[in-house]
Structure 1
Amino acid sequence: MSNYKLGREFAEQLDHNDELSTYRSQFHIPKDAEGNELIYMTGNSLGLQPKITKGYINQELEDWAKLGVDGHTHGKNPWLNYHEFLTKIMADIVGAKPLEVVVMNSLTANLHFMMVSFYKPTPKRYKILIEADAFPSDKYAVESQLRHHGYDDKEGLILWKARKGEELANYEDLENILKEHGDEIALVMIGGVNYYTGQFFDLKRIAKLGHSHGCVVGFDCAHGAGNVKLELHDSGADFAVWCSYKYLNSGPGSLSGAFVHERHAHNKELNRFTGWWSHNKQTRFRMRDDFDQLPGAEGWQLSNPPILSMAAIRASLDVFEKAGFDKLCEKSKQLTGYFEFLLNELNNSNIKIITPNDPDQRGCQLSIQVKNADKDLHDKLTQAGIITDWREPDVIRCAPVPLYNSFMDVYGFIERLKTVI
């Protein structure tokens, strides 16, 4: 949709015509001291809580109270293989086969577990390529992997930088890096959606390019899962990881997802850290059997599933399934396009959107750069009832999330931004 109009009535009409508008009422929306709903634009940092989440968690607490250890087999949702309740819907959201997906651990832990298997340095090929402005945790993780293997973490790290005066990474530059250094690079590890600019990278293009130079390719999709169509299987990536507490609304610090492409599903020669939950389910409890690797992504599990956290993920995934991810992505483009339109209509030379204007190269996040601004601007927005995310030196990250943000949220944001600026 591109025929956007100014004015409150147009925003109200968009909400009236939105078939997904009822999902907003299924989430707890934060309120101010007077009980007024805040305009919450930080689902890219922490998603809001579905109202059904408490019931999902309480069910497991009740089974624990009533059944104790028997909850593993006799609970309403038996705990023994609870992670399997999440697999199909999660796989659908990230565009993978169920065999390729597992929910386990936390995000950076999963990134390290993947690198244990897929970062295989040699004296000739040991370098790691990441985008220059990767999320700090990713940079710290890959640097520590270089050090762990005895390499210098500065010399061994190759950065895909945006050109001078630009914010977005350029694929020609990536191609040139790989032409020059491809035979030295063991791993290409890119954030699927850049946390700062909101740029959604072409995963298939990057994976194909990396593989053509003999590199392993992985993605951190923390800002992509539940936000954009990742199509991980079709991308051809070797692995990917993501968190579940941003767009997937599973609660602070909740579990991570991991993807391992099916071509690696039965490769027992891959080096990996193992634990009893990656052992054959049929013989897992015999305890004294030799290790028997599970196929697929499940073969990277270490421990039994943390049920209370998984219950929260399951609640959110059930909301996603009912809403339909295709419909959510369609609304996301409309909502973000409307947001972009209203920002541009401000005609303020101090405001610049650094996120790509092509809807296929972004999700629902718009990163707004405000000339000569500092955190005082963010503080004023907060006082005006708008929850956004400030990133130094001068960027406000805003995410109108299609599950619970409305077109009136976007309209209200712009109206309050006018008064603040």
Structure 2
Amino acid sequence: MSDYQLGLEYAKTQDQSDDLSAYRNQFHIPKDTNGNDLIYFTGNSLGLQPKSTMSYVEEELKAWAELGVEGHTEGKHPWLHYHEFLTENMANIVGAKPIEVIVMNTLTANLHFMMVSFYKPTKTKYKIVIEADAFPSDKFAVESQLRHHGFDEKDGIILWKPRKGNELARYEDLEAIFDLYGDEIALTLIGGVNYYTGQYFDLKRITSLAHFHDSMVGFDCAHGAGNVKLNLHDSGADFAVWCTYKYLNSGPGSLAGCFVHERHANDRELNRFTGWWSHNKETRFNMRDEFDQLPGAEGWQLSNPPILSMAAIRASLDMFAEVGIDRLVEKSKKLTGYFEFLIEQLNNPNIKIITPKDPSERGCQLSIQVLNADKKLHHKLTESGVVSDWREPDVIRCAPVPLYNTYLDVYTMVEKLKEILND
């Protein structure tokens, strides 16, 4: 039996007792033409800007203005080591050891760099398993890797599909895939949290299954980092990648994160693309030394990183370190559960939540399917002050992000949806 209650007063009371409610004031909340806060439920696409971001970026602009090239070694946060200021906090967010994490490049670029190292096909073992409705960029990247190695992309991909009439993937069906094709599968690449349904997969279970069949394992955690407890180290996955501009609030197109399990930290035999930033820090600027690879995830870097992007990431990660992923996930489950409760109380036969009902199998995203609806519904929601995300053919994705969304946001959004549906 749910402890949630109907009514405006309940939402207000929950916000008043929420120990994270003050963090909303640390974000810029988009406003409508009348200056009222919009209900922003698209943190799963682009997180809001922390108010601290500007000062973090300005600090580096000032260092550049005042120090020039000396900013690499002087100043409050020397650029030469800037990525190191992010490592521990990022590792805590994704459940990894610092040696396993690096902030570099962008998401799909990192995915390709990881496949250079961990996709090692042979003539008989070359296939790649992905979920049927993987994020398009992942699918495109996998197809291009197969072509690069001389394989047909249609033959080389095995899709983990939901059963007919279902939206969620089942582990039994993945096990059946490995029973049939285990000797042919070289890589298992799954989205840690599916972008469409919001299903949070059991990373450890998938890794154990794939490793049993001698398949490398990687996860795209773009919709998981900062949203759920990924526990990447304990999962045993070989690698993972994620962006930082969704739940990690680092700004559009900002740098991405990469995880490489520590068992690979000192493996110099792994094939990889390299550059001078993966070279020994002590001798990097000697310029004429032979390549001396850094251990751990740092050894996959190529170039000196864009500092202004990293400054924005540091602003967000400092806030995450202050709050802690445990408190965020705790509020996320309550807020999303309340959202689910209100949607169900509409008793509308045309509405179905396709995200898993079990809170341990989802993050803060709910994917709401509205039968017989089209994008006009989304436009009406937008006009009413709700910023949500439409996915064809009939799904509204909504993410009540615990750092800046409120119970009142959730209550008001459902009331607006009810009005639109009854109009």
TM-score exceeds 0.5: yes
1:19 equivalent in structure 2:
19
Aligned counterpart, 1:390: 390
Deviant stretches of 4+, over 4 Å: none
Q: Give a deviation string over 1:107-134, Cα, whole Å, max 9, x none.
A: 0000000000000000010000000000
Amino acid of the residue matched to residue 173 of structure 1?
A: D
1:206 and 2:178 aligned = no
TM-score, normalised relative to structure 2: 0.99
Partners in 1 of 2:112 and 2:134 — Cα distance?
Answer: 16
Which SS does the other structure have where 2:128 is aligned? Answer: strand
- In structure 1, what residue type is equivalent to 2:65? A
What is the identity, as a one-letter code, of the residue corresponding to 2:29? I
- What residue number does 2:106 align with? 106
> Which letter does structure 2 place at the counterpart of 1:203?
L
Name 1:180's counterpart in structure 2: 180
Whether 1:309 aligns to 2:309 is yes
Q: What is the correspondence of 1:190-201 to structure 2 with a 5 Å cutoff?
A: 190-201=190-201
1:404 corresponds in structure 2 to 404
Question: Is residue 264 of structure 1 aligned with residue 264 of structure 2?
Answer: yes
| Partner Cα separation in structure 1 for residue 151 and residue 123 of structure 2 | 10
CA distance in 1, matches of 2:135, 2:47: 18
The answer to whether structure 1 residue 92 and structure 2 residue 92 are counterparts is yes
Aligned to 2:349: 349
- The yes-or-no answer on 1:131 pairing with 2:131 is yes
Q: Which secondary structure state, in structure 1, belongs to the residue aligned with residue 242 of structure 2? A: strand
Report the Cα distance in structure 1 between the residues aligned to 2:252 and 2:288, rounded to whole angstroms.
37
User: What SS does the corresponding residue of 1:155 show, helix, strand or coil?
Assistant: helix
Residue of structure 1 in register with 2:277 after alignment: 277
Relative to the length of structure 1, the TM-score reads 1.00
Distance 2:312 2:268 in 1: 32
In the TM superposition, residue 261 of structure 1 has moved relative to its aligned partner by 0.2
Q: Secondary structure at the match of 1:367?
A: strand
Residue 336 of structure 1 aligns to a residue whose secondary structure is helix
Q: Are 1:218 and 2:218 an aligned pair?
A: yes
Letter in 2 for 1:106: T
Shift, 1:399, TM fit? 0.1
Aligned residue for 1:231? 231
Q: Deviation digits for residues 304-336 of structure 1, max 9, x if unmatched?
A: 121000000000001111112110100000000
Separation of aligned partners in 2, 1:199 and 1:305: 33
5+ unaligned residues in a row in structure 1: which ranges? Answer: none
Q: Map 1:302-341; keep pairs closer than 5 Å.
A: 302-341=302-341
Distance 1:301 1:4 in 2: 48
Post-superposition CA distance 1:274-313 (Å, at most 9, x none): 0000000010000000000000000000001210000000
CA–CA distance in 2 between the matches of 1:407 and 1:229? 22
Alignment of structure 1 residues 136-147 onto 2, 5 Å: 136-147=136-147
1-structure distance, mates of 2:22, 2:336 = 19
Kindly provide the amino acid, as one letter, of the partner of residue 267 in structure 2.
N
Letter in 1 for 2:357: N
For 1:70-118, what per-residue CA distance to the aligned partner results, in whole angstroms no more than 9, with x for missing partners?
Answer: 0001121100010000000000000000000000000000000000000
Number of aligned positions between the proteins? 421
Cα displacement (A) at 1:187:
0.1
Q: Which residue of 2 aligns with 1:44?
A: 44
- Counterparts of 1:185 and 1:259, CA distance in 2: 22
Cα shift at 1:231: 0.1
Instruction: For structure 2, list consecutive stretches of 5 or more residues without a partner in the other structure.
Output: none
Q: Which amino acid aligns with 1:231?
A: N
CA distance in 1, matches of 2:92, 2:139: 28
C-alpha displacement of 1:405:
0.2
Paired residue type of 2:305: P
Tell me the amino acid that sits aligned with residue 222 of structure 1: A
Partner Cα distance (1:77, 1:327) in 2: 29
Give secondary structure in 1 for the equivalent of 2:154.
coil
Could you say what secondary structure the match of 1:177 adopts? helix
Q: Distance in 2 between matches of 1:380 and 1:35?
A: 19
**Which residue number in structure 2 is paired with residue 368 of structure 1?**
368
Distance 1:376 1:330 in 2: 34
* One-letter identity of the residue aligned with 1:372: N
Q: In structure 2, what residue type is equivalent to 1:107?
A: L
Task: Name the structure 2 match of 1:290.
Answer: 290
SS of the aligned residue for 1:369 comes to strand
1:32 match: secondary structure: coil
Structure 1 Cα separation of the partners of residues 2 and 351 of structure 2? 21
Amino acid at match of 2:14: L
Q: Which shows bigger deviation, 201-210 or 72-81?
A: 72-81
C-alpha distance in 2 between matches for 1:152 and 1:132: 18
Distance of 1:122 and 1:83 partners within structure 2 = 36
CA shift, 1:182, in A, is 0.7
Equivalent-residue separation in structure 1 for 2:152 and 2:93 (angstroms): 37
CA distance in 1, matches of 2:291, 2:2: 57
Aligned-partner residue type, residue 223 of structure 1? H
Q: Measure, in 1, the Cα distance between the counterparts of 2:412 and 2:70.
A: 51
Distance 2:179 2:290 in 1: 45
Residue type at the aligned position of 1:338:
Y
**By how many angstroms is 1:2 displaced?**
3.5
1:128-185 deviations in Å (ceiling 9; x for gaps): 0000000000000000000000000001000000000000000000000001001100
Residue type at the aligned position of 1:166: N
